[in-house]
A and B are shown apart, each in its own frame.
Chain A
Amino acid sequence: MRLNCPLCGDRDLREFTYYGASVYADRPEGGWSEAWDDLLHLRDNPAGETNDLWYHELGCSAWIEVSRNTVTHAISDTRLLAERKPAAKGAKA
């Protein structure tokens, strides 16, 4: 399997660490709520298109969101997590 790192180009699977569905990057605001429960514990297991997180640990340290199909294994898109939704991002410090 090959992943296209937006910074390094096409790289072998073994350079990356898998981290699961990319909804984990959508952090709710505020204190404990149902939304937090969803974030931590509830994951879809789709047969088809899915977005998940990969860390280019043996490369440039970029976190990458990968769109791939769990049925065909086709990878349709990869993008930097940091550039995913610039408007919606930014944690409250």
Chain B
Amino acid sequence: MRIEGKGLVDRSTPVGFRFDGRDYTGFQGDTLASALLASGVRVMGRSFKYHRPRGVMTAGSEEPNALVTVGRGAGQVPNVRATVQEIHSGLDARGQNAWPSVRFDVMEVNDLFAPFLSAGFYYKTFMWPRKFWESLYEPAIRRAAGLGALSRQHNDEHYEKAYAFCDLLVIGSGPAGLMAALTAGRAGADVILAEEDARMGGRLLAESHEVAGQSGADWAAGVVAELASMPNVRLMTRTTVTGAYDGGTFGALERVGLHLARPPMDLPRECFWRIVAKRAILAAGAHERPIAFANNDRPGVMMAGAVRAYVNRWGVAPGQTVAVFGNNDDAHRTVSDLGAAGIKVSALIDVREDAVAPKGVTLHAGARLVDAVGRNGLREVIVADRDGKIARIPCDCLAMSGGWNPVLHLTCHMNGRPVWREDIATFVPKPGMVPGLTVAGAANGTYSTYGCMKEGAEAASVALSELGRAQPKVDLPEAEDGAIRLRAYWEVPEPKHRAWLDFANDVTTKDVRLAAQENFRSVEHMKRYTTQGMAPDQGKSSNVAALAVLADATGRGIPETGITTFRPPYVPISVAALGAGGQGKGLAPERLTTSHQASVARGAPMIEAGLWYRPSYFPRPGEKTWRESCDREVRMVRERVGVCDVSTLGKIDIQGADAGRFLDFVYTNTFSTLKPGRVRYGLMLREDGIVMDDGTTACLGEGHYLMTTTTAAAGQVMRHLDFVAQAHCPGWDVHTISVTEQWAQFAIAGPLGRELLNTLLESPIDDAAIPFLGCGKVRVMGIEARLFRISFSGELGFEIAVPARYGAALYRDLVARAESLGGGAYGMEALNVLRIEKGFITHAEIHGRVTAFDIGLQGMVSAKKDCIGKAASERPGLTGQEREQLVGLKPVPASKPIGAGAHLFDEGAEPVRVNDQGYVTSVCWSPTLNTHLGLAFLKNGRARHATRVRLVDHLRGADVVCEVVHPVFFDAEGGRARG
């Protein structure tokens, strides 16, 4: 029901929306909760465990009851607080945790079984028979448990992340936050003012107090207008600061498009901000806390501050007849606000014996509230006066106030512990809990409007002086400055029915007492045993009362009982917002070579190599399997010529007078003797003596080298070179930079390789110009290119490199020319066969556990110089016959396929782990040698050439006898590459 002449909603703009399948109308400026209350809807949710009907309790993000699901299909969002969701046309919300609806829910039967559903009932009830847990109990509990549900569909709606930096972050725009922002803004500091609500002003919008002779809302609007005019102030509404992190970093969730009926296409639903602030002021206010009494969860039982907010801000009467229950003066303030709005107040129940009756209202001073009646909506409350007289007070709304808990969550995010303040019976932050963050206003336990403004301005002044800025004079406006008078009162003693503490998770005072009785006396144990404070609201309004009850049950004081740890996030954050930009290809971006389009156009299946995509093989008409294509491509390279993009290999440009000396230090072998125009194969160890990577390095000129790394280890090697240069070689003249992306590089392999090259080089080359392991500059199609005479196939091989922008054109031309010579493009499958036939290693072999000795390259570790990993490679156990050494395998008969990952055993030995002799790393069918081939590591393998081993693959069911051979299967003398 709306109150005429009250509220800040725009009565000229009605807004239609749906809730639980029914159409309603509210006004622009309404939340779902205020619009439903105005429409007389009392039940907005069902409780977690007992499925009890629940109405809205609060007017903010701490709401434990009115949790709804918004939207349909992939984008539906569960557990949205109706107090936070703004209405808009097209809003489709529905109650949850209920079937068929929150008005009538068959699961309400749970409430009848409440005596069996006390704290820890899972552990006590579902103990036996043991095997029933997985098959019966757990699935049944999982079905019944939980609040809202996700759609389980892929959601491709737009979310974003963003970064911001400022001198001062002000969290909250109530009286303290506004004064802090105003003070800092006028001083010229870069200020971000973050407000969770859609409108700035905080409690100024919800209270009837005047500020500087005008309404609180008008005063706030004036300050906000001034702030908005300052270029150095950024106002962020609908933005909840969710966490405080190291180094002045804060997380914040902005609800960007959730309040719009038709958000523009490019507008995200939510944006997750990372805000780095030199200083921060927490002015987030306080949460009013409920009092535990029998059936205090009836729809219609609300926080008194929320009742005032609905009356004053939204012009909504939460009931026709309201009773007020409290332990402090805010209860009296509520009575007068309700009176001013013309709402009947049936009684004021004040637990303080010395309370003074407000005009025209029946006061029950020192009375107990013994019950609340009305299952689907409050009808009356039953009060026992001090003299024991029972009074039944008619009311459809009860406004209760148990005092206030400062919103100090952010101060605890870095392990700070708040302190207990007896006079206001609550925890308050102590200074320095988060470096650079100060707390002002109600969040600091200062509740008067004037006090909040004063603290806000003072906190900003301190921050400004720490930032080295002048402090402007800001006059404090005249405002209410009353002291809070409160008697600590957590629960009505000896309730006849359950009395709720945590409404969202259905935790009652009985549960907390049971936990204490069963010796879960630590507050953290009690929390976990009862699930107190573990619901979406994280116990915002219930935690302090729960530990007060625990303190009472265990005979301790509240400060010694302590408080549970607050952790980020302060409000639930959708994973989509946290991980914005990381969906799909955002998680693993594609790196494409310059030949990508040409490869795809030829029908090549592309396979991933890290983030790169490389062609697997190039099918030709009539070829039915990958093997047919691969075999043809291998023969093509061995007999004619093939072209392959090798740009994905890491390329590192190394320059400086000490570059050669530096390479000597990172490679096991010597490079300082390498002459310009020459290329050398190098082996690189980790400092622990294990092989890191291998590759070739070319000397392009005096003090100028180009290192190639494997595709997989490019990043690791770059990091390693930077480390070695900076840690071990400071002062050396050596500079390294990755040029992997800058050059497109293509291998040209096969007997006709030079012939192919000479059809497009401006000056033809011969063996003398570019000999084996030589390199030089050439001109191709009008541009300068680099040519290397290296071979990963064992054939006459070149690699030609051009600036990446010419890569696509050169590749197409090379392939066309190769095809005219009877060759063509070859892919990764053929490349792999060619290198296995030659016994060349890849990271399948140098997988992080093998030494230079294991791969037979111990001779490459120079005895004449130190290098990274040399000392460790000499450790006992890293060389010798007990090591598994690289060997070649040929199955007997040759047609029997073998698989990588299979293990090796002595012939006749049982194929079990203790008899393990080694394992297979790479396999292929060799069309050149007409046999299956394998590379493997075999114990003392180099001494076992020409013997036989048994290859067993328990996973794939293979059991093959293999002959152990030298790992170079083909052209052992290497004449083909030199020719």
Using a CB–CB cutoff of 8 Å, the interface residues on chain A facing chain B are 1-2, 12, 17, 19, 24-25, 27-28, 30-33, 36, 39-40, 53, 55, 57, 61-63, 73-75, 80-84, 86, 89-93
Contact = CB atoms under 8 A, between A and B. Distances in A.
Interface in B266-281: 274, 276
Nearest to A63: B726
Interface stretch (B305-313, B593-601, B701-709, B864-872): B864-872
Given A55-B719, A90-B731, A32 B247 contact: no
A48 B248 CA distance: 20
Contacts of A28: 871
B729 interface: yes
B649 interface: no
The residue in B246, B665, B687, B718 that gathers the most chain A C-beta atoms within 10 A of its C-beta is: B246
A30 B872 CA distance: 10
A57 B715 CA distance: 10
B726 A80 contact: yes
A82 B726 contact: yes
Given A1-B249, A2-B276, A32 B874 contact: yes
Contacts of A81: 723, 726-727, 730
Given A31-B871, A73-B414, A1 B729 contact: no
A55 B247 contact: no
Given A63-B723, A90-B729, 19 more contacts: A1-B245, A12-B249, A12-B276, A24-B727, A25-B727, A30-B871, A32-B871, A32-B874, A36-B872, A40-B687, A40-B872, A61-B718, A61-B722, A63-B722, A63-B726, A86-B731, A89-B731, A90-B730, A93-B866
Interface string B204-243: 0000000000000000000000000000000000000000
B246 A31 contact: no
B412 to A, nearest CB: 15
Contact of B719 (A40, A57, A91): A57
A19 B726 CA distance: 14
Given A40-B687, A74-B435, A93-B661, A32 B726 contact: no
Nearest to A28: B871
B37 to A, nearest CB: 44
Find the residue from B664, B723, B726, B875 having the highest chain A CB count within 10 A.
B726
B321 to A, nearest CB: 54
Nearest to A14: B274
**Max chain B C-beta neighbours (<10 A), residue from A30, A36, A62:** A36
Contacts of A39: 687
Contacts of B662: 93
Interface in B862-902: 865-866, 870-872, 874-875
B385 interface: no
Interface of B: 163, 245-249, 274, 276, 414, 435, 661-662, 664-665, 687-688, 718-719, 722-723, 725-731, 865-866, 870-872, 874-875
11 contacts: A1-B247, A17-B719, A25-B728, A31-B874, A57-B719, A63-B726, A63-B727, A73-B414, A86-B731, A89-B727, A90-B731
Nearest to A75: B247
Contacts of A82: 725-727, 730
Nearest to B873: A32
A70 B349 CA distance: 52
A64 to B, nearest CB: 9
Contacts of B865: 93
Contacts of B276: 2, 12
B42 to A, nearest CB: 47
A90 B726 CA distance: 10
A63 to B, nearest CB: 5
B517 to A, nearest CB: 37
B956 to A, nearest CB: 37
Contacts of B725: 82
B246 A2 contact: yes
A29 B435 CA distance: 43
B610 to A, nearest CB: 16
A86 B875 CA distance: 30
Nearest to A3: B247
Contacts, number: 89
Contact of A89 (B247, B274, B661, B728): B728
A1 to B, nearest CB: 4
Which of B435, B661, B665, B730 has its CB near the most chain A CB atoms (within 10 A)? B730
A53 B727 CA distance: 10
A23 B346 CA distance: 75
Given A80-B726, A86-B730, A90-B730, A32 B414 contact: no
B589 to A, nearest CB: 14
A80 to B, nearest CB: 7
Contacts of A17: 719
B249 A27 contact: no
A57 B723 CA distance: 11
Contact of A83 (B687, B729, B730): B730
Nearest to A19: B723
A23 to B, nearest CB: 11
Nearest to B729: A91
B718 to A, nearest CB: 8
Contacts of A31: 870-871, 874
Nearest to B878: A32
A36 B871 contact: yes
A40 B688 CA distance: 7
B247 A93 contact: no
B246 A1 contact: yes
B730 A32 contact: no
Contacts of B722: 55, 61-63
A62 B719 CA distance: 10
A2 B275 CA distance: 12
Nearest to B165: A10
The 6 closest A-B pairs by CB, nearest first: A2-B247, A25-B727, A1-B246, A91-B728, A82-B730, A82-B726
Nearest to A80: B726
Nearest to A40: B688
Contacts of B718: 61
A33 B727 CA distance: 20
B731 to A, nearest CB: 7
Contacts of A74: 435
Given A90-B729, A91-B729, A93-B665, A55 B249 contact: no
A10 B276 CA distance: 11
B155 to A, nearest CB: 25
B594 to A, nearest CB: 24
B200 to A, nearest CB: 29
B147 to A, nearest CB: 33
Given A90-B730, A91-B729, A93-B866, A73 B872 contact: no
Contacts of B728: 25, 27, 89-91
Contacts of B874: 31-32
A18 B274 CA distance: 21
Given A2-B276, A93-B665, A62 B726 contact: yes
Contacts of A53: 723
Contacts of A83: 730
Nearest to B738: A61
A32 B875 contact: yes
A74 B414 CA distance: 11
Contacts of A80: 726
Given A17-B719, A40-B872, A2 B730 contact: no
A61 B723 CA distance: 9
Nearest to B274: A12
Contact of B730 (A12, A19, A73, A89): A89
Contacts of A89: 727-731
A73 B414 CA distance: 9
A1 B250 CA distance: 10
A81 B728 CA distance: 9
Contacts of B688: 40
B725 to A, nearest CB: 8
A81 B664 CA distance: 21
Contacts of A30: 871
A61 B249 CA distance: 24
